Amino acid sequence: MGKAGAGSGTRRGILMFLVLLICLAAIVLIGTELFQVENISVTGSAALDEGVIISTSGISYGDNILQISKDQVKKRIESNPPFPIVEGISITLPHDVHIMVTERVPAAVIPYLSSHILVDSSGFILDILKQAQQTIYPVVEGVSISKLTKGTTLEPAGEGSYQQKILVRMLQALEEWDINQMIQTLDLDNPDDIVLITRDGIRVKLGQAVELDRKLGWLQSAAYTEVLQRDEAGVFDVSVPGKAIFHPQTSSADQEEDSGEPADDEDEDSESDENEVTG
C-alpha cells in the first residue's frame, strides 16, 4: 500500500506540473497575441519628423508591449539624429505607446578647421557642417576644441572647462532673452572679458558672465536704439550692471601723434562724445 500510494502521488505531481506548464504556455501565448503594439504616438516634436523618432525608438508595430524597455528606447532616440531629449515614455495596456520629447534647438556655431560645429545652448553637438561665409547663428570665437563627436557634448581643449561653462551660460542667456538672431559673434577669447558683435556692427562689452539679465537687457532697450541712430562704429559698454556707455570709435587721424597727456579741453570733448545711460 505504501509503495502504491507513493507512486500515485508521484504521478499526480507530474500531472500537476504538466498542467501548470501548459497553463503558463497558454498565458504567454495569449499575452503575446493580446499585448501587441498597435499605436505609437509622439508629442513635443513640432519641427521634428514623428516617423524618424518612432523609427529610432526601435519599437515596431506587433511587438510585445510588455517587453519594451523604456531605458533602451530613451537611449536609442537620444543617440540618433535629430537627437531630441526624451522627457518620458508611457505605456497603456494593451496596445498604446506614447513618447514625449523636447526638440534641441541650434544656438550657435563654432569654427573648427574647415567646418562649423552646430551646438545647442547646452553645448551638445547637433551637426558638423561645411564652413560657410554666412550663418544665421552666432559664431563663437576663442574656444579651443580637443575632441568632437556628433551627438555628444562639446569637449574643450586644455583647461577649457571654465570656458565651456561660460559658453553654456552665455548661450542659455541669449536663448532666454531670444536675442540669438541679433548676435553675429560671441568672443570668448577672454571669458572674463566677453565681447559680442551684433549684426548691426556694434561691439558690446559684457565683461564677466554675471548679472546677464541686466546686461543683455540693454540690447532690447531705448539706449541701444539710440546707439543705432547715431550710425557710427563704437563700443556699447554694459560691463557694469545698471549702466550702459557708448564709446564712439576714434579714427587714427584723430589720435595724438605724441605720447603726452591730452589737453584738458580734449578730455572734455572726449567725454562728451560718450553716451551714458544709467538704469
**Per-residue pLDDT at 212:** 95
DSSP string over 237-257: E--STTEEEEEEPPPGGGS-S
Task: Kindly indicate the confidence band of residue 271, based on its pLDDT and cuts at 50, 70 and 90.
Answer: very low
Distance CA 104, CA 36 (A): 31
Greater confidence (191 vs 16) lies with 191
**Per-residue pLDDT at 88:** 96
Which residues have CB under 8 Å from 242's CB, separation 6+?
Answer: 214, 278, 279
pTM recorded for the entire structure = 0.76
Answer yes or no: is pLDDT of 243 > 90. yes
Domains of the chain with bracketed CATH: 39-102 (3.10.20), 106-251+262-278 (3.40.50.11690)
**Partners of 211 in the β-ladder:** none
**CA distances for 239 relative to 87, 127, 204, 277, angstroms:** 37, 33, 9, 13
Give the pLDDT confidence of 101-157 residue by residue, as tens digits.
999 999 999 998 888 999 999 999 999 988 876 789 999 999 888 778 899 998 877
Distance CA 202, CA 249 (A): 10
Give the pLDDT confidence of 37-61 residue by residue, as tens digits.
999 999 987 778 899 999 999 999 9
Distance CA 223, CA 244 (A): 8
